Structure 1
Amino acid sequence: MDFHKELDTRGLNCPLPILKAKKALADMHSGEILKVVATDPGSMRDFQAFARQTGNELVEQSAANDEFVHFLRRR
């Protein structure tokens, strides 16, 4: 998937991946896509809740090799 910015949150636990994503999204334009790579298994659930609460669209999530990748579209 094409994205405009990538955020590496490997090794960080909740809530840091969410907080860093929120800050990154604030610097992006509407419609742009942020890719977040995390190692916290709870990030799958956390990013779903974050998208619901903020109105940003969770476009895709995947998990492989103990890494969790999230794509968020800026509202």
Structure 2
Amino acid sequence: MDLTTRNPSDWVLDAIADEAGVDPVELTPPLADAVDPEALDALLERADPDVEVAIRFEYQEYEVVARADGGVDVR
């Protein structure tokens, strides 16, 4: 995952799409219905590297945890 050129919301979209077995553009409803992508990006991009930061939210039937280190868990 290229953390330098992609936004955290992109990491999240890709992880959810992988779990769902679809292309990210096919996800419905839009991610913005579950979480504000701009706020997600701002929080994770500005996180102190010495502090573990994670944002947890639900999207469809999934629980999503996005971390500032670029990790995304979709369950």
TM-score by length of 1: 0.36
Decide which structure has the larger Cα Rg and report it. Answer: 2
The structure with the greater share of residues assigned to strand is: 1
The structure with the greater share of residues assigned to helix is: 2
TM-score by length of 2: 0.36
